[in-house]
Amino acid sequence: MKSIGFRLLVAALAVTLGAALAKSQTADTQAGPPPATHNHAFGPYGHMIAFYSKMLNITDDQKAQMKSVLQKEHATMKPLMQQEHQLDQQLKSYVEGTYDQAKVQALVSQQAQTLVQLKVEESRIHNELYQLLTPDQQAKLKEFEANRKARWQQHTQGAPSAAPEEQ
């Protein structure tokens, strides 16, 4: 059985990779200079690699290896992300136009299959990136994720309940 920490790591890496790929996808269609947060030294994945660099003190060799993995996998992820986006746009047309439950259900089913493919690929990519880290860096990342989870749990437990109390 996999540890909760590892699952959290995979989830965090999935979010980070998703953001990196989404940013790179929109960067292809936008004209003009890149946003101020774009790290030119590492291309469209600069923010992800910069995060690892700052938090985990990754080496230049690790940075290069991570960039290589992300660039290699971009070709796999981009079509899946485009397909998911197109399906989402088609679904939005049923919000604004005539509603057809059968067509919406078919689109949602297609979208679910695409999301499964995306998550499988993201997990594989995150595993590749995780394997590039040293044991100390892996431990530090696990600690970061555990702290993040604890803060989130504290935040959600401290939220007021929506139901009024009975007397």
Tens of pLDDT, residue by residue over 102-140, are: 999 999 999 999 999 999 998 998 899 999 999 999 999
160 inside domain: no
pLDDT of residue 137: 93
pLDDT at 43 over 70: no
CA atoms of 8 and 145, how far apart (whole Å): 6
Mean pLDDT estimate for the chain: 77
pLDDT of residue 64: 92
Which residue from 13, 11, 20 is spatially nearest to 78, judged by alpha carbons? 20
Q: pTM of this prediction?
A: 0.61
pLDDT of residue 126: 87
Report the domain count for the chain.
Answer: 1
Please state the rounded mean pLDDT for residues 32-37.
40
pLDDT at 11 over 90: no
78 inside domain: yes
pLDDT at 32 over 50: no
Tokens 């920490």 — which residue?
A: 5
Q: Provide the residue range defining the domain that includes 98.
A: 4-30+71-138
89 inside domain: yes
17 inside domain: yes
pLDDT of residue 34: 41
45 inside domain: no
157 inside domain: no
pLDDT of residue 134: 95
Please state the rounded mean pLDDT for residues 59-64.
92
113 inside domain: yes
48 inside domain: no
More confident residue, 166 or 136: 136
Please state the rounded mean pLDDT for residues 46-70.
86
